[in-house]
Chains A and B, each alone.
Chain A
Amino acid sequence: MSIDCEDQELLEGFLAETTELLEKLDDDLISLEKSPEDSELMNRIFRSIHTVKGASSFLGFDLLVKVTHKTEDVLNRLRKGELTLTSQIMDVILEAVDLVKTLVSDIKSGEIVERELEATIAKLIPFLSENAVEATVLAPLFAPQKEQGAGPEASAPAPQPGGTLQPAAAAPEPAAAVSQSGAAAPEPNPAPTQSAPPPQLKAVQAKEPAKPAASKGDELADNSTVRVDVKRLDDLMNQVGELVLERNRMIQLHSDYQTGLDPAGFGDDFGKLSKRLNFVTSELQMQVLKMRMLPVEKVFKKFPRIVRNLARDLGKEVDLQIIGEETELDRSVVDEIGDPLIHLIRNALDHGLETPDERLAAGKSRCGTVVLSAAHEGNQIVISIKDNGRGIDPERVSRKALEKGLITEEQLALMGSREILDLLFLPGFSTKEQATDLSGRGVGMDVVRTNIRKLNGIIEIKNEVGKGSEFILKLPLTLAIIQSLLVEVEREVYSIPLASVIETMRVNKDEFHMIGGQEVLKLRDSVLPLLRLQRTFNCQESTADRSTCYVVIVGVAEKRLGLVVTRLLGQQEVAIKSLGKFLANLPGIGGSTIMGDGRVALIVDPMGLVGGGESAIVRKSA
């Protein structure tokens, strides 16, 4: 079935609007579960679904109308207070929303596939019958199942979740298997009604298509178009206008100069002009940069739902606090941080937080807290995931790494506590005895490291055994124009992204030590491996061998490295230019930039340097 829509523009408008509404909907639904009394929120959700329904019926997407209509009905009953919100109802509504997302992405991809709607709709229907009221009466009895639910309820007397109160014990079981999280949450829906059991059995088979539906829903938020505030666009136009004026001024100045008019004043005028030009371009740059910015909320808003499901699966109580979701960062960065954050949050829930009982035993409150925060710090964005769980036990980490053969005893003996925590990032590392579908394969942290490296970011771990741990990601704001530190290596100029520079220092070459063939520098309480850029890059050594040089300490993800350079030239904002596909993948070179004098300077890629180490690179080039 192809899409028969006359007006492409109308369709695009519909897709853009619906996508936006659906994204917001997920978030709202989770918040609603936390505060079911919020009628304003309830109404907003209702309105969103209603809008989607209205628009799709206008455009003739019948499948969409069917699902949204039933969902709307259920929401309507909730709104009127005929139903009380339970996590079971929420599961079904979320499933319906997922289905809607799938349908919308089908429309977007241009072909409507016949999808299994009945299973989801059938799950909605029971909540529409009068008996549903009875069903919700039973709900509080199963309170312990809904971890995310209201806290006080959870302390209600917890019966065996077997559901002996259920009139028909057979029905809830297949239903439980279907319920999104897969947790054994007996649905207190009106099993006795004749209509309910058969569709639920059918729903078991329908689980297969439901899975891709969820993943497809994520892709829905595509990034091929941008919505820009008209105000920003106007500002931009203003700036461009000014730029044009400055250009005219420049042309005028040049022709005056050529005709020999007032050569004395030329220098002065030119100075003024370049100042204004500088001002206008930096304004312009800011404006364009801002247009590329997205609030980090875009990534953050899917987490409440993930946390809710995870917490339930793990049998833990979690309070997810999100701070600073309005912080803006570049689109390219937003796209990349989603995965690492999911892994870190999973880890926090799975490894970090204890079960409620363990928490009580440790003298903490039942409910664990995970704080996800984002903030600007200078030219970086800092995202932190902090939990108040058991923290990371370095003992256990090093033991596991030894067991898995990732490091040797000697290596371990040389490690400080920082280095031991860094072991977490090794591929294949896991403290879990057995891999579960949640974690334990030792992939997650490797993903985190890889993605953060790709973004030239830094990872820091703060850890307090017994009190919790915090993962701090520091990322550059944008990837197209970066602040960089220009350095000279034997008369060649290189640029090092400032985002990865931690500090610079001037040292005497006598202070270098050799450990196991590796030059190191004692820096306060740690030992810093050194890399002589001049060797890595095979620069011709200049004759004047000075005894002092500069060390630029760079951080890549969790690693630190000192780059030895001849001189520091200063800080400059540079636009990154690719070296083309022939020169891609050069170790230690991330790209190039054009300097004020028109020459090309290469941008050092600290990630490539940290990865290979000096010896590896030298061997390669030899």
Chain B
Amino acid sequence: MQTALKVKSEEYGGELIQLVSFNLEKEEYGINVLMVREIIRMLNITRVPNTPHYVEGVINLRGKVIPIISLRRKFDLMEAEYDKRTRIMVMEVVGELMGFIVDEVSEVIRISEKEIQPPPPVVSSGVEQECMAGVINQADRLLVLLDLEKMFSADERRIFSSVA
């Protein structure tokens, strides 16, 4: 996604992009809206044994079984109870549908690409640096732009399938 963004900015200059913003442990994150298929409420999740700890299980999304990943666990944040604001963001990551559990989905925002700054060299939270595509620093808020494709780098995908 990062490369895609770069290409865009080179071609069009500071084009507006839309991000879905969501909260995790009181921090705000953003994801390109084109990645997001749908946002659903929590469902019954079936646990799948012998998977990495951040794989919560699978759900039935209208007849299709898709894996669900807890972003809190993925980013080594504290576990939290699911409440009525908890959402599953269903996204297409490297050609496969996947659900990501987030604390709350807030809004869709438009930003200019010029506002995206490279991620700071040291990341204080557990968010792995490589899946940060950038930081958006607006007057009253700080948004971390995520690149989930990177989160499932080839290496990780392999581990994912052959059990960590």
Contacts and interface: CB of A to CB of B under 8 A. Distances in A.
Contact of B51 (A492, A583, A598): A583
Contacts of B65: 577-580, 592, 594, 600
Contacts of B49: 536-539, 586, 588-589, 602, 621
B132 interface: no
B78 interface: no
Nearest to A620: B163
Contact of A600 (B46, B51, B157, B163): B46
Contacts of B59: 600
A432 B103 CA distance: 65
Contact of B48 (A577, A583, A585, A620): A583
A375 interface: no
B58 A583 contact: yes
B98 interface: yes
Top 3 closest pairs, chain A to chain B, by CB: A537-B49, A600-B46, A577-B65
A261 to B, nearest CB: 30
A80 interface: no
A538 to B, nearest CB: 5
A587 B50 contact: yes
Contacts, number: 84
B20 interface: no
21 contacts: A492-B47, A537-B49, A578-B65, A579-B67, A580-B65, A580-B96, A580-B98, A582-B160, A582-B161, A583-B48, A583-B161, A585-B162, A585-B163, A586-B163, A587-B50, A587-B163, A589-B48, A598-B44, A600-B44, A617-B50, A620-B163
A587 B161 CA distance: 10
Contact of B50 (A578, A582, A586): A586
A580 B50 contact: no
Nearest to A581: B96
B96 A602 contact: no
A41 to B, nearest CB: 51
A601 interface: yes
Given A538-B49, A577-B64, A580-B96, A599 B44 contact: yes
B131 interface: no
Contacts of B67: 579-580, 582-583
A584 interface: yes
Nearest to B156: A582
B64 A621 contact: no
B60 A537 contact: no
Nearest to B97: A580
Contacts of A538: 49-50
B50 A599 contact: no
Q: Which of B47, B59, B98, B157 has the most CB of A within 10 A?
A: B47
B8 to A, nearest CB: 28
Interface string A559-590: 00000000000000000011111111111110
A578 B63 CA distance: 11
B63 A594 contact: yes
B50 A600 contact: no
A367 B55 CA distance: 61
B61 to A, nearest CB: 10
B111 interface: no
A393 to B, nearest CB: 41
B46 A599 contact: yes
B60 A600 contact: yes
Contacts of B51: 583, 586
B66 interface: yes
Interface of B: 44, 46-51, 55, 57-60, 63-67, 96-98, 152, 157, 160-163
A621 B58 contact: no
Contact of B55 (A583, A599, A602): A583
Contacts of A599: 44, 46, 60
B7 to A, nearest CB: 27
Contact of A598 (B60, B96, B98, B162): B60
B90 to A, nearest CB: 12
A136 B124 CA distance: 92
Contacts of B163: 585-587, 620-621
B105 to A, nearest CB: 23
Interface string A519-559: 00000000000000000111100000000000000000000
Contacts of B63: 577, 594
A592 B46 contact: yes
Q: Which of B50, B55, B58, B66 has the most CB of A within 10 A?
A: B50
A574 to B, nearest CB: 12
Nearest to B59: A600
A129 B44 CA distance: 80
Contacts of A586: 48-51, 161, 163
Given A582-B157, A600-B46, 8 more contacts: A492-B46, A492-B47, A537-B50, A579-B67, A580-B98, A584-B161, A589-B50, A599-B60
Contacts of A594: 60, 63, 65
Nearest to A575: B63
Contact of B46 (A539, A588, A601, A620): A601
Contacts of A602: 46, 48-49, 58
Nearest to A600: B46
Contacts of A584: 161
Contacts of B44: 598-600
Contacts of A581: 96, 161
A551 B75 CA distance: 40
Contacts of A539: 49
A94 B67 CA distance: 53
A209 B55 CA distance: 53
A446 B49 CA distance: 29
A602 B157 CA distance: 21
Contacts of A580: 65-67, 96-98
A14 B58 CA distance: 48
Contact of B58 (A579, A585, A587): A579
Nearest to A536: B49
Nearest to A492: B47
Q: Which of B60, B152, B163 has the most CB of A within 10 A?
A: B60
Contacts of A592: 46, 58, 65
A592 B96 CA distance: 16
A598 B44 CA distance: 9
Contacts of B97: 580
A582 B95 CA distance: 11
A582 B162 CA distance: 9
A582 B96 CA distance: 8
A601 B59 CA distance: 9
A280 to B, nearest CB: 19
Contacts of A583: 48, 51, 55, 58, 67, 160-161
